[in-house]
Amino acid sequence: MPNLKELKNRISSVKSTRKITSAMKMVAASKLRRAQELAESSRVYADSLSFILSSLAGNTKNSSDLPEILTGRENSKISLLIINSSDRGLCGGFNSNLFRNAKKWVSDQQEQGKSVKIMTVGKKASSFYKKTDLDIVASFEDLNSNDRQLQVSEEIKNKIIELFENNEIDEVSILFNKFVSAISQEPTYQSLIPLNNEETSEDESEPNNAVFEFEPDKNELLEYLVPRNFLTQIYRSVLESSASEHAARMTSMDNATRNAGDMIDRLTLTYNRTRQAFITKELIEIISGAEAV
Amino acid sequence: MINLKVVSPQKVIFEKEVEMAVLPGAEGDFAAMPNHSPFISSLRPGQMAIMSSNKVDESFFVSGGLVMLKEKVCEVLVDQIEPLSEINSSNYQKSKTYQELDGNDTALSTFEQVINNPIYK
């Protein structure tokens, strides 16, 4: 027969767990709203920038005129993957989904005969990839405020440009959890080098044939635009990933709260039954004692 | 009227109909007005002015960026922007723009110049 005291302790510990998870859910919900706003409001800039870039690149007839950093190298051998994870856990399958996807990507690349380098964002990715034998070029952690997110994006941008110019990498992709809705996030790849133009031209409803004049000339503009575009795309993926993280935490904490509730119900039932059994047992003892006298 | 849309990496700063906007293009100031030929330019640090009937309505400092001009739309992608109505020579060093430009001497001296002696007033 279960011990009454043990049961009582267990109920109170599950109760405090429920309090914590429900508080975390509430916090995640309010953070999600803010992160979502940020992600949405940064979209305008990113869309305009990629529109400008694609009209600039589309205007140049001969693609060999474009800088390598835009079109990529012909014989690309080394790919870099930037993985956007979270700093903290307790957010369901958010990180493990991402890592599973990344693993597949890495083996795909290796089958194509390319070597892979990794850049991690967030504590979870850096502690996960430390244990693997992959080449980690840089790790960024503590993306806890918007200013810091922008700063990290800037650092990542500088790093990839430096690596590309030193011929240490030929391709760059970024992996992040795309925010679809509060209950669904999907791991998404985006290619930074070479620049993936298809998506932007689909998004723009207006035809891209307006002939723009450029000032200063195209090459100088590209020199300014290409790093800007990296920064914006990286920043956007960081924001998306943070919105997804809060959403994932919200749903998983909601589930945890509900499970804790069910558990408390079950435990309370057992507790009451046990208590009743004790009382009955004692009564029987008293009655049978009295009868014996 | 032309639709002026000012956007920073974080958010849309404002969007409104204006008669004319003067922008510090990389190769000289230019005015964005309706039916201007399609035009893309980068911006140098300087003053952006919104004007109507030859008077400056609003004035801003921009630290650089890009502008895309179409027939009826002028999209300005700025790095940093600071409305000049709220700052003067005594408090501009406290502004967020000043802090973020730290280390960029050309932009800072232009900032100072725009505050003390704006071209369009």
pLDDT one-digit tens code per residue, A169-185:
999 999 999 998 888 89
User: Does A215 contact B7 at a Cβ distance shorter than 8 Å?
Assistant: no
Domain boundaries, chain A: 4-23+253-288, 35-250
- Fold of the A35-250 domain: Pyruvate Kinase; Chain: A, domain 1 (3.40.1380)
For B90, phi then psi, to 5°, come to -85, -30
Amino acid at A236: R
For chains A and B, what is the number of CB pairs under 8 angstroms?
Answer: 68
Of the candidates A41, A52, A228, which has its C-beta nearest B68's C-beta? A52
Instruction: Give the pLDDT of residue A197.
Output: 56
The answer to whether A91 is a known catalytic residue is yes
B100 Cβ contact partners less than 8 Å away, ≥ 6 residues apart? B63, B80
Mean pLDDT value across residues A202-222:
67
Instruction: Tell me the residue length of chain B.
Output: 121
Q: Does A48 touch chain B (CB under 8 A)?
A: yes
Instruction: Give the pLDDT of residue A291.
Output: 92
How far apart are alpha carbons B29 and A290 in whole angstroms? 108
Mean pLDDT value across residues B6-25:
90
Long-range contacts of A23-27, Cβ-Cβ distance < 8 Å, separation of 24 or more: A24/A90, A24/A249, A24/A253, A25/A249, A25/A250, A25/A253, A25/A254, A25/A257
Query: Which ipTM was obtained for this model?
Result: 0.84
A118 near A134, Cβ under 8 Å?
yes
Instruction: Give the pLDDT of residue A60.
Output: 65
How far apart are alpha carbons A273 and A23 in whole angstroms? 31
Report residue A214's pLDDT band, with 50, 70 and 90 as the boundaries: confident
List domains and CATH numbers for chain B: 2-116 (2.60.15.10)
B93's torsion region: left (phi>0), alpha (psi -120 to 50) or beta? alpha
User: Does B9 contact A232 at a Cβ distance shorter than 8 Å?
Assistant: yes
Residue B22 C-alpha, separation from nearest chain A C-alpha, in angstroms: 16
Residue A187 C-alpha, separation from nearest chain B C-alpha, in angstroms: 23
B68 near B51, Cβ under 8 Å?
no
Question: What separation in angstroms does the CA of A226 have from each of A48, A125, B13?
Answer: 14, 27, 23
Q: How many CB atoms lie within 10 A of CB A243?
A: 25
Q: Does domain A4-23+253-288 have CATH number 3.40.50.170?
A: no
In chain A, which among 224-283 make CB contacts under 8 A with chain B? 224-225, 228, 231-232, 235
How far apart are alpha carbons A12 and A90 in whole angstroms? 21
Instruction: Give the pLDDT of residue A64.
Output: 62
